Amino acid sequence: MNANTPRQSPAERDESAQQLLSRTARDLPAGRHQFHKERLMAQIHQIQQEERTAAAEAVAPARTRRLRLPRPAIALPVLAAALAGTVVTGVVMNDGGGVRDGGVATGPALTTPIGAATAKGVPQLLGQISLAAAETGGSHPAVKPGQYVYIESKSADSFVKTVGDKSSLASHALHRRQVWMSSDGTKGWLIDPAVNDSSEGETLSLPDEQGNTPVGGLNHPTYDYLAKLTTDPDKILAKIYKETKGQGNTPDQEAFTTIGDLLVESYPPAELYSALFKAAAKIPGVVVVNDAVDAVGRHGIAVARLDETSGEREEWIFDKKTHVFLGDRAVKVTASTGEDALIKPGTVTFTNAIITRAVVDGMKQTP
């Protein structure tokens, strides 16, 4: 941030916030709301701190415009309120050892060969995945009061970086993320260098800064909420379509994204976990990609769907033999125009690998 840059008026701030909201709604599936709210809030807090100390900065560091926030998860009306007094552009810090953003080093854009997709065999594959999920139910213990769901993953993402008047595509390096969440979703902890430089992490316990304690739902999938859901695939899918109506680019893409979110950073009970795959098989446009790679390089087979509006294909990656869920990623498949033309086909806009998913007895305890 340049110390000579004039501060924006409230009207200019509101206009910039609305531009961000418009871009968020276009680039990001709206169903990804509660999973990573803490990422966005931490970035907003960080930007506010940078803005307060901007006058003392002698050299303007590089600025970035986020292509997409990693697994964003805050409803747009809440986002609008949070942005009322600040403009989010993505803060980049230079610590002498290379450009860093939120504590994570940056590098070249992530790319991958675009795997061929086919609609052939989708029901069979999802049936096998559902069966495998049901068979492993014994190793999927229930979460008792006082216990926590622990999920460790590794993720990276690509974004548009602007230095001066020149923009280019870059990425945040692969980094470790650890999250703990109580069964009712009111207590939690996050350690993620993309959110906070502190190795100790930060609390996710509720109520939030506005005094709100969200109840369990599809956008806040606590274990207690998921444990009460029907395990009938048709009823689950009908519920998803109903409760996500008007969100995302299309109803079918939003339904696919919502189920995908439940696979990544929540802990569905075994029967529900199996039923979700049967529900996904009923969504039009779902395809199979025979070779896909997760964030840590594990090859697998993917269940995927192309968002024709954004040109990104969301891929859920499974082990080819055991059908265990490995992770997910988003791959740019079709070219864009305008400033988004920088995002070439083959760009991996987000990638994530699940390392550990378990139930533990205490906050910050690991298996």
| Inter-residue contact 227 to 269 (CB < 8 Å) | yes
Reported as a pLDDT band with limits 50, 70 and 90, residue 25 is very low
Query: Would residue 365 count as lying in a domain?
Result: no
**Residue appearing with tokens 């993309």:** 194
Residue 27, classed as helix, strand or coil, is: helix
Distance CA 109, CA 111 (A): 6
Stated length of the chain? 367
Domains held by the chain: number: 1
Question: Worst-scoring range by mean pLDDT, 22-31, 51-60, 87-96, 130-139?
Answer: 87-96
Range 287-302 average pLDDT: 97
316 vs 53, residue with greater confidence: 316
Confirm whether 366 is domain-assigned: no
Residue 168 pLDDT greater than 80, yes or no: yes
Give, as one character, the DSSP assignment of residue 61.
Answer: P
Could you write out the DSSP letters of every residue in 73-86? ---HHHHHHHTTT-
Asked whether residue 247 carries a pLDDT value surpassing 80, the answer given is yes
pLDDT at 80 over 70: no
More confident residue, 141 or 254: 254
**Separation of first and last alpha carbons in the chain:** 42
Amino acid letter at 20? L
CB 367 within 8 A of CB 180: no
Residue with the two structure tokens 């005094």: 211
Which pLDDT belongs to residue 138? 63
pLDDT score, position 106: 82
Angle at 190 between CA 228 and CA 313, to 5 degrees: 70
Q: How many CB atoms lie within 10 A of CB 163?
A: 15
Averaged pLDDT of the chain: 78
DSSP-H helix ranges across the chain: 10-27, 37-52, 76-82, 122-135, 223-227, 233-243, 251-264, 270-280
Instruction: Tell me which residue range forms the domain holding 346.
Output: 10-360
Which of 1-5, 47-51, 60-64 ranks highest by mean pLDDT?
47-51
Give me the pLDDT at residue 274, please: 94
Question: Is residue 126 in a domain?
Answer: yes
> 95: burial class by Cβ within 10 Å (0-12, 13-18, 19+)?
exposed
- What's the whole-number mean pLDDT along residues 309-314? 95
In the prediction, which pLDDT does 206 show?
81
Element (H, E) at 171: strand 166-182
Instruction: Categorize the per-residue pLDDT at 103 as very low, low, confident or very high, splitting at 50, 70 and 90.
Output: low
Is residue 139 predicted with pLDDT exceeding 50?
A: yes
Cβ atoms 363, 148 nearer than 8 A: yes
Share of the chain above pLDDT 90, in %: 56
The confidence band for 102, taking pLDDT boundaries of 50, 70 and 90, is low
| Residue at 2 is within a domain | no
Check residues 260 and 212 and name the one with the higher pLDDT: 260
5 within domain boundaries = no
Q: What pLDDT band is residue 265 in, cutting at 50, 70 and 90? A: confident
3 belongs to a structural domain: no
Has residue 226 been placed in a domain? yes
pLDDT bucket at 262, cuts 50 / 70 / 90: very high
Q: Which residues contact 162 (CB under 8 A, 6 or more apart)?
A: 62, 63, 64, 65
Confirm whether 367 is domain-assigned.
Answer: no
> How high is the pLDDT of residue 209?
73
Q: pLDDT higher for 359 or 3?
A: 359
pLDDT at 137 over 60: yes
Q: Which two tokens stand for residue 338?
A: 């305008």
Q: What is the mean pLDDT of residues 91-102?
A: 38
Q: What is the DSSP string of 77-133?
A: HHHHHHTTT-----B-EE-SSSEEETTEEEEEPPB-----EESTTHHHHHHHHHHHH
Q: What is the DSSP letter of 367?
A: -
Give the residue with greater pLDDT, 292 vs 165.
Answer: 292
Whether 315 and 329 have beta carbons less than 8 Å apart is answered as: yes
- Interval 200-229 mean pLDDT: 88
CA separation for the pair 9, 17 (Å, rounded): 12
Is the pLDDT at 21 greater than 50? The verdict is no
Looking at residue 69, its pLDDT comes to: 37
Q: What was the pLDDT predicted at 194?
A: 83
According to the model, what pLDDT value does residue 135 have? Answer: 86
